[in-house]
Amino acid sequence: MATRTKTAAAAASAPSPTEAGCEREMMSAEKREEALKRLARASGQVAGISRMIDDGRHCTEVLQQIAAVQKALDAVGNLVLRNYLERCVTTAIEDGDPLIYDEVMTVLTRYR
């Protein structure tokens, strides 16, 4: 694994797919399919929200649908986060990467 340098710029940027042991495929085909299916569903919900606004639907109905989309995206985020922990972080710990803990904290504070 390439050694990462600890700089202000590196700390501020999101980890790349090759960091934290992610040199291999990011997700299994099964998890990728599940994430894409959830994102397609959320995309359809967003399109529906646009139609609702265009049709002048009541604000509470629109807000309810927005909340549903946010929950759908949270579910995808949780799936990706779990994958990151199971694959990338586990590999980095096994490889003895001392910076993985800082990276995990950055990911958790930025995306959760």
| 68 vs 27, more confident | 68
Least confident of 13-22, 34-43, 70-79, 97-106: 13-22
Q: What is the pLDDT of residue 81?
A: 94
How far is residue 8's CA from residue 82's CA, in Å, rounded to a whole number? 27
- The 10 Å CB-count burial string (b at 16+, else e) for 11-37 is eeeebeeebbbbeeeebeeebeeebee
Mean predicted lDDT score pLDDT of the chain: 84
Per-residue pLDDT at 89: 94
Sign of CA dihedral 11, 15, 16, 19: positive
Question: Which domains, and CATH codes, for the chain?
Answer: 27-111 (1.20.58.1000)
- Is the pTM for the entire model greater than 0.85? no
- 110's CB contacts (< 8 A; 6+ apart) are 14
pLDDT tens digits, one per residue of 3-33: 343 433 444 454 444 454 555 578 889 999 9
